[in-house]
Structure 1
C-alpha cells in the first residue's frame, strides 16, 4: 500500500517542470496521432461490406478498437497524474487567471436586472426555436431513404447536427451566467473543447457543400461517381480532424502551461480560458485568418465557375445553374457570419478598451447575429429552398395526412 500511494507512482513524474511538460506534450501528440489512425482504419472497415464477413479483418478491427480504448484510458491516467503535480505559475498564466475570474466574463451580464431578463428571454426564444427546426429537419432526413443516400443531404444533416449542438451548449453557458453559476475551469475546458470543434465544423462543412454544388453543376457527368455516400462520410471525418487540430493544440498548451490550481478555480465558461499566453492569442488569430482566407478562395472559385457556367447554359440547364449560384451566394453569407463568430472575442477586446458603455450592447448584438442567426441559415438554404426536402417537411408536418405529399415523400 505504501508503494501504491507513493508519489513515485505518478505517470511521467519528474522533478524538473520543463522536462515534465515536454514529456506530457510528447505523450499527447503520439496518443492522438495513433488514435486518429485507428479511427480512420475502423471507419474503412465499417465502410466496406466485404471486410465484415472476413475473420481476419474482424479480428484486426477488434485489435484497433482495443488499442484505441487502451490509449484513451492511459492518456486519462497521464492527465490525472499531471494535474496532481505542482507547476510554477508564469506571468501569462497569472494574467489568464485574473481575466477568467473577472466578473466581466459573464455572458449577457447587465447591471439592470430587467434588461438582463429581457436579453436572456430573447436568447431562449431564438435558440429553442431554431433547435426545434433543426431537430425536425433531422427527423425528416433520417425518415427518408433517398436523403440518407445523397451526399448533399448527408452534409446538410451534419451541419444541422453541429448547429444544434453549438446552440444548446451556448445556451447552457448563457443560463449558467444568468444564474451566476461558477464551475471549475477543468469542467469548462471540456465544454469549450466541444464548442470549439462545433464552431469550426460549420464553415468547413459549408465549404464542402459549396464544392459539391460546383461538381454537380460544372461536372454533371462525374457528379454521381464523385459525390457518393462513402466520400461524404469521409469528408465529414476529415472535417472533424481539421476542426479538432487547433482545439487539441490549445488543450495541450493550457494543460502544460497552467498550474493545477488554475483548473480548480471557479469560472464562467468561454473559450478564452484555453488561451493562457499572449503568443497563443496571436496564434489563434493567425489560424482564424488562414481559415478565412482559404475558405474565401474556395467559395469565390466555385462562384466564378458557376457564373461562367450560367453564361454558357441555356433553357432548363440555365435555370438550374442560376439556382445553384443563388445557393452558393447564400452559403457565402452563411460562411461570412460563421467565420465572423471567430473574430468576436477580438472585436470585443477592442470595444472594451474603447468604451465600457458600448461593450454590453455590442456583445449582445454579436451573439445574436454571429452565433444564433448564422446557424439559422442552414434550414433556409437547404431545408426550405430545396423542393424535395420541403415537400417531405410538409408531409411530416401534416402527420402524413396528405396523399399528394405522400407520393412525393415516399
Structure 2
C-alpha cells in the first residue's frame, strides 16, 4: 500500500516538474522572440519615430511582462502554492493590468491605421510620437484600474491581517467576494464592447475608403488586413476569459485530473496567444522582416592569398555585408 502511494506521489511530482519545464521553455521562447523585436525596434529610428511601431512594440513589451508574471505565478502554484497575500496582490495587479492593456493597445493600433488611411493629411499632426507615448500612459492607467479596484475591495471587506497570511495565489481565491464577481462582469463587458466597437468602426471606415480610393487602394487593403488581424488577436485574448468557466466545468467532472486541466487551460489561454503575437505582426511586417535579416543573417567573408612576383598579395573577396 505504501509503495503504491509513494509511486502515485512520485508520478504527480514528476508530472508537475515536466509541466513546469514546458511552461518555462515556452515562456523563455516567447520572451526571446519578442526580445528580438524590441532589439530591432531600438536599433533603427525608422521604428521608434513611427507611432505605428511604437504601439506595436508596446504590445510586445506588455506581452513579455505578462508572460513573465504568469509563468512565475504558474511555478508558484505548483511548488509554493501558499504565498503571502500582499506579495500575491502585487503580482495579480500586474497580471491584470497587462491583460487589460492588450485589447486597449489593439484598439489604439486600429485607430492609428484608420487615421492613416481615412485622414492621411491629418495623420502627421494627430499621430505624433509624444501623443503616442501619452496614449500608452493612458492605457496603463486604465489597465491598472480593475486590479487596484480589486485590492480596494479586499481591503474594505477583509481584516488587515489577511494580507499577512499565506493563500493560494489565484485571483479566484484572493478576490472571491460578490463585489469582485459583479465588478469583473461589468469591467470585462465594458472593455470588450469598447474594443470591438473600435475594431468594427475602423474596419468599416477603411473598407469604404478602399472602395473609393484610386491611388491609395493598396494601402487601404493592407490596413483592412491589419485590422482583421487585430480582431483575430482579440479573439485569442478573449480565450483567457474562458479559463474560470472551463475550470468550473471540467474539474468537477474529472477531479483526479485537475492539475492537468489547469495546465492545458493555462497553455491554451495564456501561452499560445502570446506565442502567436510576434508571428501575426512582426514577421508579417516588411520593414521588421528586412531588419531581422539585416541584423541576424551573416554572410561569410572569403579571404584568399595569392602568390605574386614581389612577395604575397592578399586579396579579400567579401560577400556583401547585410549591415552595410
For normalisation by structure 1, the TM-score amounts to: 0.67
Between Structure 1 and Structure 2, the one with more helix by share is 1
* Structure 2 match to 1:142: 42
- Greater shift after overlay, 370-379 or 345-354? 345-354
The answer to whether the 8 A contact 2:153-2:179 is kept is no
- Alpha-carbon distance in 2 for matches of 1:347, 1:389: 37
Aligned-partner SS, 1:267? strand
- The 1:277/1:343 distance shift into structure 2, 3 A limit, reads same
* Structure 2 match to 1:326: 225
* Structure 2 match to 1:288: 188
* Structure 2 match to 1:251: 151
- Alpha-carbon distance in 1 for matches of 2:254, 2:237: 26
Instruction: Within 5 Å, give how 1:384-395 maps onto structure 2.
Output: 384-395=283-294
Aligned-partner SS, 1:112? helix
The answer to whether the 8 A contact 1:251-1:274 is kept is no
- Counterpart of 1:303 (choices 203, 209, 230) is 203
For normalisation by structure 2, the TM-score amounts to: 0.83
Deviation of residue 165 (structure 1)?
A: 0.5
Deviation of residue 320 (structure 1)?
A: 2.3
What do the CA deviations read for 1:81-123 (whole angstroms, capped 9, x no partner)? xxxxxxxxxxxxxxxxxxxxxxxxxxxxx97344333322321
Between Structure 1 and Structure 2, the one with more strand by share is 2
* Structure 2 match to 1:406: 323
- Counterpart of 1:381 (choices 268, 273, 280) is 280
- Alpha-carbon distance in 1 for matches of 2:202, 2:296: 35
- The 1:194/1:394 distance shift into structure 2, 3 A limit, reads same
What do the CA deviations read for 1:50-75 (whole angstroms, capped 9, x no partner)? xxxxxxxxxxxxxxxxxxxxxxxxxx
Deviation of residue 251 (structure 1)?
A: 1.0
Q: Does 1:363 align with 2:262?
A: yes
Aligned-partner SS, 1:376? helix
- Alpha-carbon distance in 1 for matches of 2:287, 2:155: 48
* Structure 1 match to 2:240: 341
Instruction: Within 5 Å, give how 1:181-192 maps onto structure 2.
Output: 182-192=82-92
- Greater shift after overlay, 319-328 or 206-215? 319-328
Query: What is the root-mean-square deviation in Å for CA atoms of aligned residues?
Result: 2.5
- Counterpart of 2:64 (choices 164, 176, 180) is 164
The answer to whether the 8 A contact 1:258-1:276 is kept is no
Number of residue-to-residue matches in the alignment: 298
What do the CA deviations read for 1:252-288 (whole angstroms, capped 9, x no partner)? 1111211233222222322224413113212212210
Deviation of residue 307 (structure 1)?
A: 2.1
Aligned-partner SS, 1:220? coil
The answer to whether the 8 A contact 1:392-1:405 is kept is no
Instruction: Within 5 Å, give how 1:96-107 maps onto structure 2.
Output: none
Instruction: Within 5 Å, give how 1:8-407 maps onto structure 2.
Output: 112-180=12-80, 182-314=82-214, 317-356=216-255, 359-398=258-297, 403=320, 405-406=322-323
4+ aligned runs moved over 6 Å, structure 1: 399-402
The answer to whether the 8 A contact 2:97-2:143 is kept is yes
